[in-house]
Structure 1
Amino acid sequence: MENKKIKWGILSTGWIAHKFATALQVVDNCEICAVGSRNLESALSFASEFNIPKAYGSYEELVKDIDVDVIYIGTPHNLHLENTLLALNHNKNVLCEKPMGVNEREVNIMIDKAKEKNLFLMEALWSRFLPNIIKAKDLITEGQIGEVNFLKASFCIRSSGAQQYRHFNIDLCGGTTLDIGIYNIFLSLFLLGKPDKMVAVAGLNDQGCDTNSSYVFNYGKEKLAVMYSSFLADLPVVAEIHGTKGKIILEHMWFCPGNVKLISDTGVEQIFDFEINGNGYELEAQEVVHCVLNEQKQSDKWSLEHSLELVRAMDEIRHQCGIVYPNHDL
């Protein structure tokens, strides 16, 4: 078991696929054996960059490769269902980039197919596996900041893409909620659990994509999580969790590898630093390798039910804001 290598196939050759392939270089018990693209030239270039032995000019050829154990899907949101089903129907385990589906219906279709085929399936939400996020959770569980009463999280970047770019294109399931707001929503669910109530508002472009979005989760009488995401503004991408005995601060680009600052109500400050071997994506990949080697069909750390909880929250936010994806929200 310890010497067995899980063989990966990379489906797509975009930016996120490059990040993931880079991370796989430091993951134990695995290797990349194939890459597939809709363009053979792109696949060959990617294969050359990462020393991958096989390159395919279609996704269909990739999933038919008998040597591949797991397919990593790094395509845009609107293709996740189609690409995941393609891989599962060819008996490949799947790690699908977040969001796994653009709505609960799509996620359930993927889950049902994985169960039917008795295959592993996981959403690639890398932040769940980062040590700074895990440490924040541990500090709360240990009571280091007392009773949590307020969480604030933001993810705002000014996007320079044109209106047909995926950030702003309704046909590509654009908008901030699924693309970057998902991290805020994940953090609140991960640290505080399922809220009693959600309230959301958004600014929509002419196509109906949310270019600005704000959402509040209510956790009872006084506890709130206040979150916002934007493609129109550059703001510090930070998260803070406040309690009766202190606060936890996840500094700029909090959803990435970083440190954790713990500040007591008396002003005593502690900073927790963490060493990782790569760019951070290797941690979710290592979880997949562990699960597949142990014949698990889902991760205990980021289960299929977790993915369902996340997409249900995003569905509710989109419903309240009037965000509809014409080819998906049937």
Structure 2
Amino acid sequence: MQCVKFGIIGPGTISHRFVKGLRHVPQAELAAVASRDQQKALRYADEYQIPFVFTSYEALFSSEQVDAVYIATPPHTHFDLVMEALKHHKHVICEKPFMLNHKQAEIAYAYAKEQKCVLMEAMKAVFLPVTKHVKSWLEDGRIGDIKYMEASYSYLFPHDDMNHWVFQKQYSGGGMFDVGCYPLAYTMHLRSAKIVEAKAMHLDGASGVDEITQLLLRYEDGVMASVRGGIGVDTRNDAMIYGTKGHIYVPDFWKAERAYCYEDGQEELYEELHDKAEFRYEIAHFADLILHGEKESDIWSSAKSTLMLKLMEASVDA
């Protein structure tokens, strides 16, 4: 296999961005789309010149034209779809939030290993070139010893459809699961030390889900991290890392094109433009794992993905 043939499960808003990124990945090919809404699937296929269209997920999973599937349906459907795809020996990249809880994640990752398939959560922020460069700054000691990190992603979700999954607690709705996973994953990726303490506070809305959650982490080496996720208020969605010699600022870290390192009063800019096709990096990594016969990602592993779910569960139940 020289190229991974992808099938899309759930041709919604976020999948359009995924496809835009996929077109920049030479080792990936868009082969199929499935939707229970036939007209939606046909329109999607026409827009992106997709050769195979299915009106059932089972048909796509059974197709020999597909090596891997991208699952972008609502999160309460993820577990069953991931397990069914793996049953048919398809590699899977699944959108965040990956599962409703860490128990589902443990089962899915174990089954992927049994089926000899790659299963990866689509956590795009940790695969960005800017993120890689920020991590190299930290590892090189550019800002000295790290003391504190903070990252936030909160926005005002429209309240005109209260039946949307984001307002349903049983479907892992709320700010932390919807977008708080981005800053949490980011801080977990930058700091490999063990998390030894986690404390959270959240403000719930009328629907019962958290509209904003603040999570404070302490690592075993003493470093602290503050993470915020919300759907009830717009905030500056940036990341900051503070050390004994300076700090690093990453605007819009989850889709970052630039980062700033302030060391001893001097500013250094790192820039990598992606033309709003930032999904390309996670797709390229995922495809390479398949082509090279790897079992799972060494950047966003099953252990990190599962731990993040545990932390998110605890934070909204606090």
Which of the five TM-score ranges fits, normalised by the shorter chain?
Answer: over 0.9
- Aligned equivalents of 1:169, 1:316: Cα separation in 2: 17
**Equivalence for 2:163:** 164
Tell whether 2:61 aligns with 1:66: no
Kindly state the Cα deviation for residue 187 of structure 1 after the two structures are TM-superposed: 1.7
Asked if residue 76 in structure 1 is aligned to residue 80 in structure 2, the reply is no
Tell me the TM-score normalised to structure 1 length: 0.91
Aligned to 1:228: 228
Q: Aligned partner of 1:22: which letter?
A: K
Contact 1:238 1:254 in 2 (8 A): yes
- The residue number in structure 1 matching 2:125 is 127
2:262 corresponding residue in structure 1? 263
**Correspondence list, 1:1-150, <5 A:** 4-150=2-148
TM-score (norm 2): 0.95
How many angstroms apart in 2 are the aligned matches of 1:284 and 1:201?
Answer: 31
Separation in 2, partners of 1:79, 1:125? 18
Per the alignment, residue 240 of structure 1 pairs with: 240
Question: 2:295 and 2:63 mapped to 1: Cα distance?
Answer: 21
- Counterpart secondary structure, 2:8: strand
Give yes or no for contact 2:91–2:118 (8 Å, CA) kept in 1: yes
The one-character-per-residue Cα deviations of 1:272-303 (angstroms, maximum 9, x if unpaired) are 11144761101111111111111212122222
Q: Which amino acid aligns with 1:196?
A: V
- Counterpart amino acid of 2:144? G
Cα gap change, 1:222 to 1:113, in 2 (>3 Å): closer
Tell me the equivalent position of 1:174.
173
- CA distance in 1 between counterparts of 2:118 and 2:150 reads 34
Aligned pair in 2 of structure 1 residues 211, 294: CA closer, same or farther (>3 Å)?
A: same
Shift of 1:222: 5.5
Give the C-alpha shift of residue 221 in structure 1: 8.1
Deviation at 1:219, TM superposition (A): 2.8
Secondary structure of 1:167's counterpart equals: helix
Distance apart, 1:260 and its partner CA: 0.8
Q: Secondary structure at the match of 1:309?
A: helix
Is contact 2:257-2:273 (8 Å) kept? no
Letter in structure 1 aligned against 2:47: E
Amino acid at match of 2:191: L
Report the secondary structure of 1:272's partner residue: strand
Cα offset, 1:203, TM superposition:
1.1
Label 1:136 to 1:32 Cα distance change in 2 as closer, same or farther (>3 A): same
Alignment partner, residue 328 of structure 1? none
Q: 1:215 to 1:25 in 2, by over 3 A?
A: same
SS of 1:28 mapped into structure 2: coil
Matched residue, 1:325: none
Equivalent-residue separation in structure 2 for 1:221 and 1:123 (angstroms): 27
Distance 2:221 2:29 in 1: 50
- 8 Å contact from structure 1 (residues 120, 296) kept in 2: yes
Contact 1:155 1:238 in 2 (8 A): yes
- Cα distance in 2 for partners of 1:95, 1:27 equals 15
Query: Where does the alignment leave 5 or more consecutive residues of structure 2 unmatched?
Result: none
Bigger shift: residues 140-149 or 299-308: 299-308
- In structure 2, the partner of 1:323 is none
Counting only pairs closer than 5 Å after superposition, residues 209-224 of structure 1 correspond to structure 2 as 209-219=209-219, 223-224=223-224
Letter in 2 for 1:167: V
Question: Counterpart of 1:183 in structure 2: which amino acid?
Answer: Y
Matches within 5 A, 1:184-203: 184-193=183-192, 194-203=194-203
CA distance in 1, matches of 2:299, 2:190: 13
Q: 1:188/1:172 Cα in 2 relative to 1: closer, same or farther (>3 Å)?
A: same
Contact in 2 for aligned 1:39/1:58 (Cα 8 Å) = no
Query: Which of the residues 310, 313, 316 maps onto 1:312?
Result: 310
Q: Residues 215 and 227 of structure 1 are in contact (CA less than 8 Å); yes or no, is this contact kept in structure 2?
A: yes
**Alignment: residue pair count:** 316
| Distance (Å, rounded) in 2 between the aligned partners of 1:232 and 1:119 | 38
Comparing 119-128 with 302-311, greater Cα deviation is found at 302-311
Equivalent pair of 1:145/1:243 in contact (CA under 8 Å): yes
The DSSP-based 3-state class of the residue aligned with 1:279 is coil
Cα deviation, residue 228, structure 1: 1.5
Gaps of 5+ in 1: 321-330
Contact 1:40 1:58 in 2 (8 A): no
